[in-house]
Chains A and B, each alone.
Chain A
Amino acid sequence: MSKLTDLTITQAREGLTKGDFTARELTQAHIDAMEAHRGLNAFITETPDRALEQADAADVAIKSGDAGAMAGVPIGMKDLFCTEGVLTTAASHILDGFTPPYESTVSANLKKAGAVTLGKTNLDEFAMGSSNETSYYGPVKNPWKKQGDDADMVPGGSSGGSAAAVAGRLAIAATGTDTGGSIRQPAAFTGIVGLKPTYGRCSRYGIVAFASSLDQAGPMTRTVRDAAIMLGAMAGFDPKDSTSANVPVPDFEAALTGDIRGKTVGIPAEYRPDGLNAEVQAVWDKGVQMLKDAGATVVDISLPHTKYALPTYYIVAPAEASSNLARYDGVRFGLRVTDGVRSLDDMYMKTRGEGFGKEVRRRVLIGTYALSAGYYDAYYLKAQKVRTLIAQDFKKAFETCDVILTPTAPSAAFPVGAEVDDPITMYLNDVFTVPTSLAGLPGLSVPVDLDKDGLPMGLQLIGRPFDEETVLQVGDVMEKAAGFTHKPASVGA
């Protein structure tokens, strides 16, 4: 039997059902791994005692035969999900000591499905970042390193802690949230599977908001099948979130037929800009060939407004964030700075000035500017119009294809510290993921190969609204064809 920490959800489910091991044993193995790999800084808060309690409950449920889909599976919970009675930080100083008296719908759904939560995973502050370096709790390290180089690499962001925990075998799976690529890009950087579902598929209730019209929770796992299982446990209509979609949750796992003959895969010309990293191009070509070999038809498509996606995103997301983050004012919860404070405005300025990190402050300022009188039409309104055009691009493309294949990120992971001082370069990390977010479509990143430095590279599959099934079905086939079995150096043989 392989190590307990190497198991997928599918394997763990099987072993637990057969009684090969208990949920407690499985959980303890992951708690040990979590403690052994604290150097990755993947968790902000560890909750081993709660995890073991949940594991025991799962063992009881498994014995009595009414185990949920995630029964006994140890997972990491991105510290953007509010968890009742457990510190919730959004990786920000401003939420110091904030312990929510309520539970997010997604984490509650997972709990109901029997999942065991090991702790709260690190992230970029308020999910703003692409390298997990903006966290108040310090950067997360990628379990992967370049071959023959000991330099720490970033795990991507913002769900960097979740990605590192899953890739580094600290957790079988983890929750992520994706606003412009925060699940998919770190999944690609750490050689795991990450799925951003259709906007509205998972409830946003209880998730600390970054950009409300874009934020979406999703699974980060080691296989496509695991992503299908976990999404089924997370998703569902929630009357507490007005933007949650009242559509049935299909059996995503049942969609994994292994047969994609007759499916049409679109390849967008606009995702092949001048100067595209040759290795990225090579992996992409490889993916195209794998899908062709599996019997899919590959067609060229055009998404003409792609080049406007990133600037559009960097108006819309900061605009919403500037308003969403207004509630962190030192009045009711979290940090309040009172030293030398002489007025309410003073308290606001000192609390928010000290409580928010540099990147968060930058985005609040950008967003405030974009919404200001005299600029609203030129920025926010224009961006919304472009957003509509981008969505129309996809709609039109899906008239001729069932799924779109693109690279997930323009490069593999980069060293910690390499891009922190250059926000534009940092923002470019999301160039391939942002259009999908703006259009609200499902996007799945699947690890396909290693680059010449031995770092993982992923490809993205984009689907029609609420058609995660096709995305997962094609992803499953591509995953099998790629046969990506590499493990990061930190895990050992």
Chain B
Amino acid sequence: MSYVIQGETGDWEVVIGLEVHAQVISEAKLFSGASTKFGAEPNDQVSFVDAGFPGMLPVINEKAVEQAVRTGLGLKAQINHRSVFARKNYFYADLPQGYQISQYELPIVGHGTIILDMPDGSTREVGIERLHLEQDAGKSMHDQHPAKTFVDLNRSGVALMEIVSKPDMRTPEEAGAYLRKLRAILRYLGTCDGNMEEGSMRCDVNVSVRRPDEGFRTRCEIKNVNSVRFVMQAIEYEAKRHVEVYESGGKIEQETRLFDPSKGETRSLRTKENAHDYRYFPDPDLLPLEFDDAFVDGIRATLPELPDEKKQRFISDYGLSPYDATVLVFDKESAAYFEQVAEGRDGKAAANWVTTNLFGALNKLGKDIGESPVSAKQLGQLIDLISDGTLSGRLAKEVFEIMIETGDDPAKIVDERGMKQVTDTGAIEKAVDEVIAANPDKVAEVQGGKEKLLGWFTGQVMKATQGKANPQAVNDVLKKKILG
């Protein structure tokens, strides 16, 4: 896919790199025992370590380390058996220690890869530069008091993984696909819930433009964009801004910018001259983080099947199209649902029912797969009723609608509402005879060679049987009776 900005002076290519801050799923914070549950009262989940009290020392939470390694393995990345925590120094009211403990020169995870599934079914690889562990800061609240800022330290010290991509993306769509895929992987791994609205996944976007085949130009960083859609909008806006600046003879200055979703534009936050000097240095309160192969192997042994492998398996085992497979593996729950439906049944039919009918219905209801009124077992039963001839496709769709409304088993609905397909030839013959008797002229037309009209007869018979007749049987009887 190519995305080119056609400027007045020629074509421009967009270069995009993303830094994602993913909140680690863990009971406790990165360096303290305080809880990380979302939604507690302000300053309810703060230890003296998180509040930066004198003499308090950080102690690494092993669970957070496991989660980072797990994520690294999920990104097919290099796991560094020795990494170093460093202090990033700056002053802010919601940064109690006056520094953030992060990783700088030696991160826990090195180079990796993410495969993007583009909407047209194609794939693209994006490199992962690194993943490192760091603490989150607290939250400043400027809207609680006319003159004061309130600080909530519940988030202070919560473990984050900063996942940095290489500048490998060239279109806003790729950036969107990257975020969706990364989120899917994190959710499969159970290392981050990927909830951008609650802030458990946040994104900094690096954007520059260049002439095709040219080296990288100056980039701007857009901080803290909090939805996939906004990330794509921000890139589009920022890339156009760069082109306009260059084409009017200007220069892009390296700077940090903010995205304003209401205006759909970015604006400068601070320029390079005003950039912080974070004075990184290894945190002397913490020893280098070291672990052996056995630690990594132990985590590797518990890795679930990830989206890419699942997709391949769905394609080869169930004969699905890459597109259907991509849609189904997008989240773990949908994939599991599908597999339960497909077990012992036709995979393609199962995929169709799940991706088209079920997803369509859930979309309308605004529910996700976990809240589906129709269980995988019930959907499987419905498919069984089609294959054993109890229901026609059309009837099955009606039954499905009722299942969505009531949550009832398909067999119960069929029984109670008498929606069984009529396969009894006697009953069908009777209905066919009545339709033939009522339409002698049309019978003649068919006999005269207009066989296409048979479809019309089928429709009439189906109508007369309230759709319950087996359409195949109706066809057969019609042919026999009219054409002999």
Contact = CB atoms under 8 A, between A and B. Distances in A.
Contacts of B96: 327, 331-332
B99 A212 contact: no
A325 B52 CA distance: 10
Contacts of B53: 100, 102, 327, 332-333
A344 B94 CA distance: 11
A96 to B, nearest CB: 13
B425 to A, nearest CB: 81
Interface in A209-225: 209, 211-213
Contact of B97 (A211, A327, A333, A372): A327
* Interface range on chain A (Cβ under 8 Å from partner): 35 or more
A82 B52 contact: no
Contact of A95 (B52, B54, B277, B280): B54
A480 B280 CA distance: 49
A456 B330 CA distance: 77
B54 A90 contact: yes
A243 to B, nearest CB: 6
Interface in B237-279: 277, 279
Given A327-B97, A332-B52, A372 B277 contact: yes
A242 B59 contact: yes
Contacts of A466: none
A376 B277 CA distance: 11
Contact of B93 (A207, A208, A319, A331): A331
A208 B284 contact: no
Interface string A176-209: 0000000000000000000000000000111111
A241 interface: yes
A207 B55 contact: yes
B98 interface: yes
A437 interface: no
A380 B60 CA distance: 25
A209 B91 contact: no
A45 interface: no
B354 to A, nearest CB: 49
A325 B97 CA distance: 8
B151 interface: yes
Nearest to A326: B98
Interface string A302-336: 00000000000000000110110111010111000
Contact of B87 (A211, A240, A323): A323
Nearest to B58: A242
A212 B285 contact: yes
A239 interface: yes
A372 B279 contact: yes
Interface residues of B, number: 31
B97 A326 contact: yes
Contact of A242 (B55, B151, B286): B286
Main secondary structure of the interface of B (DSSP, over half): loop
Given A95-B54, A326-B91, A372-B279, A331 B284 contact: no
A303 B287 CA distance: 27
A88 interface: yes
A38 to B, nearest CB: 26
A100 B53 CA distance: 9
A376 B87 CA distance: 14
Contact of A348 (B60, B91, B99, B287): B91
B323 to A, nearest CB: 49
A371 interface: yes
A373 interface: yes
Interface in B46-69: 48, 51-60
A208 B51 CA distance: 14
Contact of A212 (B91, B97, B284): B284
Given A101-B48, A239-B59, A371-B279, A327 B54 contact: yes
Interface string B365-395: 0000000000000000000000000000000
Given A98-B54, A100-B54, A213-B284, 10 more contacts: A204-B57, A207-B55, A209-B285, A242-B286, A243-B285, A243-B286, A329-B91, A344-B92, A348-B91, A372-B279
Interface of A: 81-82, 88, 90, 95, 98, 100-102, 104, 204-209, 211-213, 239-243, 319-320, 322-323, 325-327, 329, 331-333, 344-345, 348, 368, 371-373, 376, 380
16 contacts: A95-B54, A100-B53, A204-B55, A209-B54, A239-B59, A241-B59, A242-B285, A243-B284, A323-B279, A326-B89, A326-B97, A327-B53, A329-B98, A332-B96, A372-B279, A376-B279
